[in-house]
Amino acid sequence: MYFDTAVVWLTIVPLLIALTGLASATLVDQFINKEQRRGLLIIVILLFALIGQNYFEYYLTSFYSNPPLRTLVAICGYSIRPFVIIILLYLLGKRGKIFYTALGLSIINTLIYLTALFSDIAFRITKGNHYDRGPLGFTSHIISLILLVSLVAMSAVDYYRVRKSEAFIPVISMLIVIFTVYLDFKTYDNTPVSFLTGSMVLCSMSYYIWLHLNFVRNHEDDIIKGQNVKLMLSQIQPHFIYNSLSSISELCETEPKRAQKLTDDFAEYLRYNFTAMTTEKLISFEKQLEQTGVYLDIEKERFGDRLNVAYDIKSKDFEIPTLTVHPLVENAVRHGICKHQKGGTVTIRTYETDKENIIEIIDNGVGFDTAAPTDDNETHVGLKNVRTRLAYYGDTMEIKSKLNEGTTATIIVPKTKQRKGTID
């Protein structure tokens, strides 16, 4: 009996501690929503039940003979395992045909093992308390393997959205589970908790880490969306709308054709900003340059000869995050050129190196001291949002400025990154 107690401490207790830790982490994880937290806690409960089932079956096998009760306990064990994988599929967002097919297989699995109550087609416990596997005795293993392979395959769909090291987590988990099934066949009925149950606990913890990384990434996506809204609202200021409409109004009587063109440009400007606000995709630099040109045309209509625009485009076949070039150009106009008594020129320049595409927004306006704190919180937030959006896709931004000489904002876009996704 002492040996049995020692075995319990060495096998069951560490798993219970691990599950308790997983439950605690799930409860305090700020990056998961209520539905995800509920799913993870259900997994923890199922695994607690599975550990209890394993030990109870071990006890009924080794110390107390009760074939009918052992049959019920074994049915529970065979039924629980597939449902753990079902919940993981659910947490991955697979809730369509694949999920319901997997759920159907799990229910069929349970029904097959329930036949042990009146048939030996799946298994039976003899009067001598011996386990005899029937022709469908491997149903749970086969269905669990199918579900596990499906889970790993679904996880692999996100391969290009995560680092390679992260993508290996579900693959390694599957290999561990397969190996522990082999160990269980070699040591059947000799351990209070099966190797498979232990591996399911460990793999559930690994999957939680993998899911957590995705939850954090989704949280960052939500932050990016929120920044899009703030950035768009900071760009479409009431005074800009008012001034644009005033310019259009003045032209309606004197130059109706120019007024019509300016109206079309202003509508296109608004359409683009609202579209860009709702997308996470990269867009072509050429498209963003075109829309920035619309903004500059409107501003030039207002400021006349005080605002000049120059283009030096040597590279344009690449993609960048939405709403990145435009805010820098707007800063150059509003805080560089317009604050200069004589106005000035905004230059948009691009070129490429072997490894990078470079975008430069240059103005010869009033400039500023980059080491000094800025009193313009709006500009500070706008630049921070642009920098964050660029960093999310692996791009960088540099700002150089001198008082009374001007400012240069540089966006560096690596060529080595896989950059897909455009909007019209």
Find residue 406's DSSP bridge partners. Answer: 402
Instruction: Report the distance separating Cα 385 and Cα 327, nearest Å.
Output: 10
Residue count of the chain: 424
The half-sphere exposure of 15 on its side-chain side, counting CA atoms within 13 A, is: 29
Query: Do 186 and 49 reside in the same domain of the chain?
Result: yes
Q: Do 42 and 180 fall within a single domain?
A: yes
**Would you tell me how many other CB atoms lie within 10 Å of the CB of residue 237?**
13
Question: Is 28 within a domain?
Answer: yes
Q: Which long-range contacts (CB under 8 A, 24 or more apart) does 73-79 make?
A: 74/113, 74/116, 74/123, 74/125, 74/131, 75/110, 75/113, 75/114, 75/116, 75/117, 76/49, 77/50, 77/53, 78/109, 78/110, 78/113, 78/122, 78/139, 78/140, 79/106, 79/109, 79/110, 79/113, 79/140
Residue pair 206/175 in contact (Cβ under 8 Å)? The answer is no
Report yes or no on 41 lying in a domain.
yes
Same domain, 67 and 207: yes
| Mean pLDDT, the chain, whole residue set | 80
72 in the same domain as 161? yes
Distance between terminal CA atoms of the chain? 74
Are 192 and 245 members of one domain? no
Q: Each residue of 233-254: pLDDT tens digit?
A: 555 555 567 767 777 887 787 8
Identify whether residues 185 and 255 lie together within a single domain. no
Q: Does the pLDDT of residue 8 top 70, yes or no?
A: no
Instruction: Give pLDDT tens digits for 38-83.
Output: 888 999 999 999 999 988 888 888 888 899 999 999 999 999 988 8
Asked if residue 229 is part of any domain, the answer here is no
Among 217, 244, 272, where does a domain finish? 217
Q: Would you say residue 196 has pLDDT above 70?
A: yes
pLDDT at 219 over 70: no
pLDDT (0 to 100) of residue 3: 46
Whether residue 285 is found in the same domain as residue 147: no
Expressed as residue numbers, the domain containing 87 is 2-217
Average pLDDT of the residues in 291-304 = 84
- Are 6 and 143 contained in the same domain? yes
Instruction: Kindly state the tokens that stand for 198.
Output: 């232990």
Beta-carbon contacts of residue 269 (< 8 Å; ≥ 6 apart): 291, 294, 295, 298
Query: Tokens 């320049």 sit at which residue?
Result: 349
Among 65-74, 281-290, 363-372, 412-421, which stretch is predicted with the lowest mean pLDDT? 412-421
How many domains would you assign to the chain?
A: 2
The percentage of the chain sitting over the pLDDT mark of 70, rounded to a whole number, equals 79
Could you say which of 185, 217, 249 is where a domain stops?
A: 217
Distances (CA, A) of 203 to 170, 174, 198, 337: 8, 8, 9, 59
- Angstrom distance (rounded) from CA 152 to CA 173: 9
Question: Is 328 found in the same domain as 247?
Answer: yes
Do residues 254 and 134 both lie within one domain? no
CATH classification of the domain holding 57: 1.20.1070
CB-based contacts of 70, cutoff 8 Å, min separation 6: 57, 60, 61, 125, 129
Domain-located, residue 387: yes
Per-residue confidence band for 20, with pLDDT thresholds at 50, 70 and 90: very high
Indicate whether 25 belongs to any domain: yes
Q: For the segment 97-131, what is each residue's pLDDT rounded down to a tens digit?
A: 888 888 899 999 999 999 999 999 999 999 889 98
Question: Which residue among 189, 217, 245 closes a domain?
Answer: 217
Coil, strand or helix: which one is 222?
helix
What is the pLDDT, as a whole number, of residue 9?
66
Average of pLDDT values for 381-393?
78
Sign of the alpha-carbon torsion through 116, 119, 124, 129: positive
| DSSP SS3 for 399 | strand
259: domain CATH number is 3.30.565.10
The Cα 225–Cα 279 span in angstroms is: 8
**Could you tell me if residue 152 is inside a domain?**
yes
Determine, yes or no, domain membership for 348: yes
Angle formed by the axes of helices 97-114 and 67-91, to 10°?
180
What integer pLDDT is reported at residue 421 of this predicted model? 42
Task: Report yes or no on 420 lying in a domain.
Answer: no
207 and 177, same domain (yes or no): yes
Residue 211 and residue 325 in one domain: no
